Amino acid sequence: MQEKKIYAHELGIDLSTQQETEYFKWLLACLLFGKPIQQEVAKRAYLEFLSEGLIIDELSSRLQAFKGIGPKTVEIFLRDITPIFVRLHT
């Protein structure tokens, strides 16, 4: 059974704002969705982080602290973020 792909906009993440906070939110969501858990569980976990205010500004240094970012997480993250970087650099 193939799972539905989830995209940033489905979680209320607006990558087109080009704001670091939105990029971080998407990376956090990708970390959750890249793990071997059900999509709905990952979505609920992300929304709980959001509701508890655990997503804040000035996060670029914190991104480097994450361990365990594997190929699936990178694939999910880049799927939505790549078109934005392409538009910015062309």
| Chain segment 23-65, per-residue pLDDT in tens | 888 988 888 888 888 888 888 888 887 777 666 446 644 555 6
Helix boundaries (H) for 1-90 = 20-33, 39-51, 60-63, 71-88
Residues 6+ apart with CB under 8 A from 59: 20, 21, 24
Closest by CA to 69, choosing from 6, 27, 21, is: 27
pLDDT band at 1 (very low <50, low <70, confident <90, very high): low
Over residues 9-23, the pLDDT tens digits come to 999 999 999 888 888
Q: Where are the domains of the chain?
A: 8-88
The predicted pLDDT at position 55 comes to 61
